[in-house]
Structure 1
Amino acid sequence: MIKFLLVLLTFALLASAETEFAEPKPAIDNQRQIVFSIKSANDEDIHHVLSSANNVLKFYGPENVQMRIVAYYHGIKALLKANKEIALRVRALKLLDVEFVACGNTMKTKNIKEEELIEDTQIVTAGIVEMIERVKEGWVNIVP
């Protein structure tokens, strides 16, 4: 019984702990730079990435975050207008200045035309290279 109470108390303390910001703290002039990737065509996986991005924006505040979501391989599905439910969520995140990037190589391979993408989607030559370059610049790569 005592062991159970200690475990319960430890869990309660951890659950109520506040996150301490690393220095310098996030601000408009010191934004957290975060990059996510979507490489799966599974709707649940896509929604998970979009929800994780939304959670980060809620925690820090959208003005304190610079965020890019790069879609490549089967994940390009996330940026197609035809997928109405996901497109709605992507457009909502775009309103918070999240940048969405499509892999041009994937588009060529899958015969996807630019007009099939959600408006204002950036196209780069290679999505994986986009990820490498952002990480090299110091962006945090989140893999939910």
Structure 2
Amino acid sequence: MTTRRLFLGGLALLPMTARAQASKFADPQPTIDAPRKIVLSISEDDPKRIAAVLSNITNIQKYYDATQVKLAVIAYGPGLIAVLKGSPVAGRIASLQDLEVDFIGCGATLDTMKRPPSDLLPNVTVVANGLPEIVERSLRGWIHLHP
């Protein structure tokens, strides 16, 4: 790693590193039998926020080996738009599903929108209610991220 010193008016300031250091895994270390379990949520009908969540998934996948992480995305409320047929991010979602990321839609939101589960993208699972699903997964050891 390269280290440089910044000089300002003859004063040396703290060293600046050229690149960030990788984080160390906390114990217990993630393994194929005990991967990190992360659930992300999409709750807004905002293309930038939806794109950010999908990008965060890609970044998490790059950080952990595929055998060290299990990812799920729960879309509820206005964010359900991301997993409906015709979604502008349908291709990205299909690619992430190919990498074993689970996408889950909120059945209560579908009911409110008066939409059937068949209006969801292929391979999107429906649960009765998105928020309780996040709670239950959290109680089973999943970490909830809402980027």
Structure 1 length as normaliser, TM-score?
0.89
Identity of matched residues, %: 32
State the one-letter code of the partner of 2:71.
M
Match of 1:104 in 2: 107
Q: CA deviation at 1:16?
A: 2.8
Q: Aligned in 2, Cα 1:111/1:26: closer, same or farther, shift over 3 Å?
A: same
Q: How does 1:1-144 map to 2 (within 5 A)?
A: 1=8, 5-7=12-14, 9=15, 11-12=16-17, 15-83=19-87, 85-144=88-147
Q: Aligned in 2, Cα 1:2/1:99: closer, same or farther, shift over 3 Å?
A: farther
Report how many residues are paired.
Answer: 140
Q: Aligned in 2, Cα 1:116/1:16: closer, same or farther, shift over 3 Å?
A: same
Structure 2 length as normaliser, TM-score?
0.88
CA RMSD of aligned residues (A): 1.8
Contact kept? 2:103, 2:124, Cα under 8 Å: yes
Q: CA deviation at 1:28?
A: 1.1
Contact kept? 1:82, 1:116, Cα under 8 Å: no
Which structure features the higher share of helix residues?
Answer: 1
Which structure features the higher share of strand residues?
Answer: 2
Q: Aligned in 2, Cα 1:30/1:109: closer, same or farther, shift over 3 Å?
A: same
Q: Secondary structure, in 3 states, of the residue corresponding to 1:92?
A: helix
| Runs (5+) with no aligned partner, structure 1 | none
| Runs (5+) with no aligned partner, structure 2 | 1-7
Q: CA deviation at 1:4?
A: 7.4
Q: CA deviation at 1:2?
A: 6.7
* Counterpart-to-counterpart distance in 1, 2:60 and 2:117: 29
Task: Point out the structure with max Rg over C-alpha.
Answer: 2
State the one-letter code of the partner of 1:12.
T
Q: Secondary structure, in 3 states, of the residue corresponding to 1:102?
A: strand
